[in-house]
Amino acid sequence: MAHVIVSQHHFTFHPLLRAQVFQDTIFKMSISWKSILIFFFFFFQFCKLSSELEFPCDSSLHRSYPFCNTSLSITARAQSILSLLTLEEKIQQLSNNASSIPRLGIPSYQWWSEGLHGIATNGPGVSFDGPITSATTFPQVLVTAASFNRTLWFLIASAIAVEARAMFNVGQCGLTIWAPNINIFRDPRWGRGQETPGEDPMVASAYSIEFVRGLQGGNWKTERVLRDGFGEKGKMEEDDGMDSLMISACCKHFTAYDLEKWKNFSRYTFDAVVTEQDLGDTYQPPFRSCIQQGKASCLMCSYNAVNGVPACANPDLLQQARNDWGLKGYITSDCDAVATVFEYQKYTDTREDAIADVLKAGMDINCGTFMLRNTKSAIDQGKVKEDELDSVLLNLFSVQIRLGLFDGNPREGKFGDLGAQDVCTAQHKTLALEAARQGIVLLKNQNRFLPLDKNAISSLTFIGSLANDASKLLGGYAGVPCSQMSLVEGFQEYVETIFFASGCLDVPCASDNGFDEAILISKQADFVIVVAGLDSSQETEDLDRVSLLLPGKQMDLVSSVASVSKKPIILVLVGGGPLDISFAKKDSRVASILWIGYPGEAGGKALAEVIFGDYNPGGRLPVTWYPESLTNVPMNDMHMRADPSRGYPGRTYRFYTGDSVYGFGQGLSYTSFKYRLLSAPKKLSLPRKIDAKCSRRMMAQVVDGVSVSYMEVEDVESCDLLRFHVKLSVSNIGEFDGSHVVMLFSEFPEVLKGTPQRQLIGFDRLHVKRQQSAQSSILVDPCNHLSMADEYGKRVIPLGDHIISLGDLQHTISIQVF
């Protein structure tokens, strides 16, 4: 058992073996009585909740209503409810806290529950005050994205769905979870970038599809996957045959939302000025995929305006989602976003006009009370018609019916047996650990410093306030974890003696008063790990960063410790936003650098496994890490493309022309891999529709004296027939087994202004044993992956030579029209 020795100014923990043996003995003697007491406690709690919880179609008095008849269509049942409501009853449904309708036996419903990376406390629909007191807290989304593992994303969402249904059955969670957050992590200062899958629209799209499918019940029939292990390749079977939902997922925040509070700009008043080109191939694709392929049943419109029109009052945006992309569900505002249309953005002259505008645009429900208080007045003034409310309520009740809320007692339904025993299960906790393992990114490993030999180390020093505080590892939108483990605690089974000093009092690190203690104990141990980075004091909802450097005096702490330690130090970085750690990257006294983000409840154990070689890191950065100089670029400039004429460097790896600290997709391993391209086409012929209009859209240009052209995707006769596979072999030529992320990029011919420098078109994660090989097959859809947006936002496929790259390998595909 490890001895954790904490500096004198901090809490001291000395676990004694004799005391532990005594405690274990008492525990074994009393375990049977404890089990009996726990059983009866939960039994009586469940019985109590069963009698207290209300649900529609309960009593014989109400079961005769058509909306309770499960043999009718969803639309017919929803229309049945509408036909029975008074105007006032309809209005009372327009808030996230929908009122009850006692005469129809319909109880109140709270639409707002959160489950971004585990059931969270942010929404009023969730409570941990009941028989279920905690839920599995998975790594923050950006960490999970770093795994580049579709199956993992799906399984995490599936586990969240199980725990949400279990909590619903005991009255502690709603069935409408407002996740995922799939905004593009455009600016590294954004306080909520940690909640997203990163900067690449292709990755964000893939994540949205898997998360929504998992959350809405795609894994209910394949629960065995959680028991049998975690695949690193492929994705689960798609099941679109049923309208029923296990949980309703909500894609947010629509759209071009990535600024909280920066200088004089606030998310409540910010007008995101976005080109049609950037909307078409950066901001919108994740939402389109979330709806079209993921089949999300909810969309959340954001606070900000887009090109002068508040997102929740923008018919072009909302109708595109419903009519063009086929949204089958409801659209909610972000909380109080309808009020901001009038009160902060001053877009309308009256409250009633604000309500009329959002309803006409296509929004269905207001998170907040603004519509409860002002809709009747809007109707009285003739600005809103009652049949507009009927269209809104049809969407809302349809989703509730799909969730089974009007099918009688939910405990008698197909999810009725889920309860406390299905939350914080061994399988879910192991999944959280696996997610943390796969998301850790090794950024530097000088002279193969890692992994450490667990048999040759007797003492270890941890420096940094983040090292001994488990709560700092969870990230935003977290709940109550099943169990919390700090980084220090995660190492106790590996090292006998652990020294700890915070060095800095907290993450802001305004003072160096604790440096002397940190320096002193850094001289005592065999190895030193310095934990630095961010927490919610630096990045969170309503708070953007102003610098990319380590906060306060953290940089000085790292350098001071590195200068006195016996051996070069290991630097562990906590937090979501990219950091400019150029000083550590260049410093030979910093041997290894690992980014763990916000790794969730199992982060401490996962990091220990990586550092001691029980797990070979394979994560890749899902965002570019920029130098501090990027903070000179205005955060409110939403342009993705670089503009040299005004010294604008562009955003994300696709367009950024400046230097970077670490690039998108970077990440090291303890082993080495080699690629071999097995098959890929050399030519691709696009069949086009034959008509005059199409011919006019076949644009020809001259670039550097060479005639090139492009074709609009809508003119391609059949996109499905153009899909092809790139088959490749990955060989592990090192001495460690390990998982490896294969990333396939494309460089387009420069046909159009604003062509990306390169673009990710496919990825896969493979586990390859040492001195062995594995094969992968990446599906490429030219209409999606080999296209870009023109200046009008139209998707076009550039004709000519596309260079496909895989590491150092390159392959040319010539695209022509016939």
Cβ count within 10 A of residue 353: 19
Helix intervals (H) in 229-303: 276-278, 285-292
In whole angstroms, give the CA distance from residue 160 to residue 138. 9
- Assess contact for 119 and 164: CB atoms under 8 A: yes
Sign of CA dihedral 39, 40, 45, 48: positive
- DSSP three-state, residue 11: coil
Cβ contact 273:638 at 8 Å: yes
* Token output for 781: 């859809």
**What is the C-alpha to C-alpha distance for residues 456 and 453, in angstroms, rounded to an integer?**
5
Among 418, 419, 411, smallest CA distance to 51 is for 411
Give the span between the Cα atoms of 105 and 62, in whole angstroms: 6
Q: In the annotation, is 334 catalytic?
A: yes
Give the containing element (helix H, strand E) for 607: helix 603-611
- ∠510-513-519 over CA atoms, to 5°? 115
Name the DSSP letter for residue 628. G
Is the CA virtual torsion 455, 560, 589, 507 positive or negative?
A: positive
Of 187, 200, 271, 334, the active-site residue reads: 334
Q: Judge contact between 625 and 665, C-beta under 8 A.
A: no
* Dihedral sign (CA 579, 580, 583, 584): positive
Alpha helix (H) ranges present in 106-223? 141-145, 150-169, 201-213
DSSP letter at 486 equals -
- Which residues touch 184 (CB under 8 Å, ≥6 apart)? 196, 199, 200, 201, 204, 258, 282, 283, 286, 652
Bond before 255 cis per omega within 30 degrees:
yes
475: tokens are 């990230």
Question: Nearest-5° angle of CA 303, CA 116, CA 254?
Answer: 30
Q: How far apart are CA 259 and CA 240, in angstroms?
A: 35
H runs (alpha helix) in 315-369: 315-319, 337-343, 351-361
Both tokens assigned to 715 = 């003119």
Distance CA 155, CA 295 (A): 17
Identify whether the C-beta of residue 481 lies closer than 8 Å to the C-beta of residue 136: yes
* Rounded Cα–Cα distance for residues 691 and 180 (Å): 41
Angle at 714 between CA 712 and CA 716, to 5 degrees: 80
Helices 386-402, 74-84: crossing angle, 10 deg rounding: 130
Report which of 282, 145, 215, 279 is spatially closest to residue 576, judged by C-alpha positions.
Answer: 145
C-alpha separations of 457 from 449, 454, 480, 485, 528 in Å: 14, 6, 34, 22, 11
Closest CA to 485 of 767, 817, 137, 751: 137
**The residue type at 737:** D
Amino acid (one-letter) located at 616: N
Residues with a catalytic annotation lie at 334
